[in-house]
Structure 1
Amino acid sequence: MPIFTRISRCAWLISSIFIISNTPGAWADKFEQLAMTPPMGWNSWNHFGCNVDEKLIKATADAMAKNGMKAAGYEYVNIDDCWHGERDANGNIQVDAERFPSGMKALADYVHKRGLKLGIYSDAGWTTCAGKPGSRGYEFQDAKTYASWGIDYLKYDWCATDGLKAEGAYQTMSKAIVEAGRPMILSICEWGDNDPWKWAEPLGQLWRTTGDIYACFDCEYDHGTWSSWGVIQILDMQDELRKYAGPGHWNDPDMMEVGNGMTFEEDRAHFSMWAMLAAPLIAGNDLRNMSKETLSILSNDDVIAVDQDALGIQGFKYSEKDGVETWFKPLENGEWAVAMLNRNNHDVKFKFAWRHEKVTDDLTKRSIDFNTEIFNWQDLWDNNNTGTTKEFVKTTIKRHDVLMLKLTPAGEWKR
């Protein structure tokens, strides 16, 4: 072949690669129709950290299948960091044989037989956050391995990623999952450091918007070079992000801490606000040994229905007065969810005068004029508490608690 022809073909190839790699959406080939409502499940990290093994995962799957959580919509049993062994001579990732003696394929089969799905964890860097083998340089190989094991969900972390660009690293793993051929949720976990909401929709089904959560309602846990955040701090970090969420692509304010040491009221408020955010509902407690009160929160069908509403619209803060925030979330069939969150360290006597309010959602262009429209309301935490927007809401909201209502259209005011 003449040298100028070889040069021309080489130049054409380089140009083509450049065009493809820099064309928006060129890698946007994730599995569609996954997570059309926010994913629901459980993750091992918040309660167990590195103390994970086959026995724990089986017992958790059994508990989820029997205690009503599966019936409520929870389906993913997700193993976080520390399941890893070393890579074999061919570079294939292995499980820790002492922790998982039956292997990951057998564990996936066990979970699947209970009508649930198995999730796993890896990292875009050389190592995971706990120092186990990461997927850097092994993305396609690892994705094929996970597919052969029957994995349904991959949480992909961001430790030990020196020199990597987040968007490119997650493009690679997204592509690897598709080429592996098994539909698998990709949970992008780079802590919101690189504005994933701006680029992650074509790549994964959810992306973390913050650093790690901490089992505290209103606090910061300073680790020195980074911090974990309480429920209120994470809630505040969701400002301006709702426009990026919707069916198949969700903002993820991290896994829940319900049942991990906060008060009943704080747990209830935490769960309610995650539902208002249309957030993934990933429990982080010990499902094998939880109180009836914790289970009653995690399995509240009415609150879950707000989170799982098919419109997939993230709620918004409407007003704040005397430390109480009022949030609205548009729902199907002209309904709305409303949450009144008491951020104070004391109980508050609260009044909401519906007829003095007009709510407009700038994102969806839906609005309510309570001076012309009437709604019936139902308290989602107390089925005996009902009313209409003809009358003021007058109640006491405990410290760090929430009043959560669903509004159903009931007609117009008669003049």
Structure 2
Amino acid sequence: MKFAMKHLILLCAALVGAATASAQKWEGLADTPPMGWNSWNKFGCNIDERMIREMADALVDSGLAEAGYVYINLDDCWHAPERDADGFPQCDTTRFPSGMKALADYVHAKGLKLGIYSDAGRTTCAGRFGSFGHEYQDALQYARWGIDYLKYDWCNTADINPKGAYTLMRDALRAAGRPILFSMCEWGTNKPWEWASEVGHMWRTTGDIGLSFSDPKAFTGDWKPRTVMQNLDDNARLRRYAGPGHWNDPDMLEVGNGMSVNQDRAHFTLWCMMAAPLILGNDIRTMSDQTAAILTDREVIAIDQDPLGVQGLRYATDNGIEIWFKPLADGEWAFCLFNRTLEERTYEIDWLLYCFTDTEVSQRSTAFDRIVYEGRDLWNGGKSFRTDRPRSVVIPAEDVVLYRLKPVAER
């Protein structure tokens, strides 16, 4: 009996050690919001091996990878018609003739990471096999293939408990032994921000984004996606739930898919102000220089990737102009004016009106009455100014002004 008990204790210790090691691998995968590219917004189900390899090439050649976009993520429709005889997932060999392991090796050789898609339900949103009842098999197969990121959707989940389903897949991923970033695509239906900080690295707070900045009438049909502004508004109120390792996700970017340059710039800036994951959804092989300039702007990306990890605050709205602040490391702030109207606006910035303390999250004070900041105009050539005097700016329709503020003196 003593011998059996001794071995049981050793086994339990080994299991605890393995679980601890797995959890340690899990940590650090999303200390800042994840950055990458996903196939769905532009291509839907029309994906194949050649296209994914070309996207990996383009991510590197365009400078996007160097700017921080490291994930190449396959969305729905990579699947074979059915699982193999043992119940493991396989890819469509017509579309992916070399197989997923070879594709992952190609992506990794580029210095990038490969993401894949599944669903907590019985089938995916496009009708392929889901992971329900096969969570540990799927996680093990993803690890064998060399997958680095899993987007886990929520279609066809009748009578499935969301917290249980996502926790089960988290445990399966950890048991598989490979660090895999876990992106929960639950659409915010069951308020994952209230329970998922220990389950996933990021969770959707909204329904699916579509190619419209602010006009929901742009969408027709029985199922309608949401505008950029609708997702902005849903996500903005949840800032207290975001932080290093666990991020609110207002869905992927539509930059470069057909909106105006003003709208693209505003969309990208506001996602950065909200510390949102930056997952591109355009065809990066053919994007314009203008689109590339927006997506690779290092100073704007740095607002999103700031190590303090605080989601920005929509502080006030003044006659259609939204005033946003985001606390940054080293006592700095990001300051954004967003013109939500359809007309160009001139706005007078009186810094003394914006003295406040972020009591909800960071406990940081702007203290414009005591501190003079040096500002940099990030979208206009980095022009410098100081906050010891008011500043007048012109903001085009559905566009932004973005400043980085660094404390330099006492008043």
Query: TM-score, normalised on structure 1?
Result: 0.91
Distance in 2, matches of 1:81 and 1:140, equals 19
Deviation of the 1:384 alpha carbon: 4.5
Secondary structure of the equivalent of 1:134? coil
1:88 is the counterpart of 2:89? no
User: Are residue 170 (structure 1) and residue 163 (structure 2) matched?
Assistant: no
2:115 maps to amino acid: G
1:149-185: CA deviations, max 9, x gaps? Answer: 0000000000011110110000110010001110000
* 121-130 or 233-242: bigger deviation: 233-242
Structure 1: gaps spanning 5 or more residues = 1-26
- 2:141 corresponds, among 145, 163, 170, to 145
Q: Does 1:401 align with 2:399?
A: yes
- Assess if the C-alpha contact under 8 Å between 1:318 and 1:359 holds in 2: no
Q: Out of 147, 154, 161, which is 1:158 matched to?
A: 154
1:293-319 deviation digits (Å, cap 9, x = unpaired): 000010000010000000100000111
**What is aligned with 2:127?**
131
Which residue of 269, 272, 280 maps to 1:272?
A: 269
Query: Match of 1:115?
Result: 111
Identity across the alignment (%) = 54
SS at match of 1:243: helix
For the Cα contact (< 8 Å) 1:30–1:202, is it kept in 2?
A: no
RMSD: 1.4
Q: What does the per-residue CA deviation read over 1:34-71, in whole Å, with 9 as the maximum and x for residues that have no partner?
A: 11000000000000000000011000000111111111
The equivalences for 1:351-370 within 5 A come to 351-362=348-359, 363-370=361-368
- 1:24 corresponds to: none
Matched positions, count = 387
* Amino acid of the structure 2 residue aligned with 1:257: E
Offset at 1:359?
Answer: 2.4
1:31 CA drift (Å): 1.3
Consecutive unaligned residues in structure 2, runs of 5 or more: 1-21
> Which of these residues, 195, 198, 203, is aligned with residue 207 of structure 1?
203
Q: 8 Å contact 2:235–2:249 — kept in the other structure?
A: no
What is the CA distance between 1:30 and its match in structure 2?
7.9
Task: Extract structure 1 runs of 4+ deviating beyond 3 A.
Answer: 27-30, 221-227
- How does the TM-score come out when normalised to structure 2? 0.92
Matches within 5 A, 1:9-408: 31-85=26-80, 86-220=82-216, 226-362=223-359, 363-408=361-406
Alignment CA distance shift 1:88-1:384 (3 Å): closer
Deviation at 1:229, TM superposition (A): 1.2
Counterpart Cα distance in 2 of 1:193 and 1:219:
23
Q: 1:365-412, CA deviations, whole angstroms, 9 ceiling, x for partnerless residues?
A: 111221221001001111242211112221210000000000000111
In structure 1, C-alpha distance between the alignment counterparts of 2:25 and 2:151, rounded to whole Å? 15
1:226 shift after superposition: 4.8
Is the 8 Å Cα contact of residues 236 and 274 (structure 2) preserved in structure 1? no
Aligned mates of 1:65, 1:264 — CA distance in 2: 23
Contact 1:29–1:178 (Cα < 8 Å) also in 2: no
Shift of 1:227: 3.4
